[in-house]
Amino acid sequence: MKTYFFTCLVTLLSASYGLAQTDVQSELTKDEIKRVTAREFVIKTREIQGLAWPEVTFYTTIDATPLEAMAIFAAYDIQKDYVPGVIKSIPIKHVSATDVLTAYEMHMPFPMSNAVYTHGGRIFRHKDDYELQWYMLESTSAEDVKGSAYYAPFNGKTLLRYKSLVVPKSIFGSLVKKVMMKDVEKSLVAIRNFTEKNIKENPALVSKYSEFITRALSGEFVYQTIIDKK
């Protein structure tokens, strides 16, 4: 089942996450650290009363620097090329240099229609760590979407913490909760594979989007040229 759940790749309870450097490693037990070091996923959930889907948190490692890892995750105009199910990803507006609105379309399985939605993505740097937070403006398939991806140095690699909360509109929401969890992991694997492959085979692409992050954090509207062409 293809993922509506890329929305889950961009989601988080606002109140549960701040704008400061976080010691992500301290959130894991010794056994969990061994698992993420072996490139496994550690998954934690928090049920929220009245909601069909829980808040989910995934931890894993990526063979990349934190900047490289976030740069590909936040490459808004090419997300359609590597995120399962996404068939359109078009940056449409700069809210600020570090906050970009992107219009998406995602393939949905029968009998549901394709999901069409607009998300905002904000990037941050916390010393050696990087963070992407996103939020929903409008969606045909969700009442609310909030999320973050936090990237921290870890033994020469990157430790990723992905945290998400999606409130689906669909009457099928409660029925596909388990599928949602599997599809989030599939999407994270796909993004990790795309990142690591391009570091080896197409470093110019990784450099381009890494520079996008650095330039945006310096105040440049890096997607404006793409937006003007839409």
Q: What's the topology of domain 4-229? A: Alpha-D-Glucose-1,6-Bisphosphate; Chain A, domain 4 (3.30.530)
Give average pLDDT by consecutive 10-residue segment, the chain, 230 residues. Answer: 42 44 93 97 90 89 98 97 94 98 88 86 96 94 89 97 86 62 88 98 98 98 92
pLDDT of residue 8: 43
DSSP string, the chain: ---GGGGGGG---GGG--SS---GGGGS-HHHHHHHHTT--EEEEE--TT-SS-EEEEEEEESS-HHHHHHHHT-GGGGGGTSTTEEEEEEEEEEETTEEEEEEEE---TTSPPEEEEEEEEEEEETTEEEEEEEEEEESSEEEEEEEEEEEEETTEEEEEEEEEEEE-STTGGGGHHHHHHHHHHHHHHHHHHHHHHHHH-HHHHHHHHHHHHHHHTT--TTHHHHHH-
The predicted pLDDT at position 173 comes to 60
In the chain, where the domains are located: 4-229
Tell me what pLDDT residue 143 has. 84
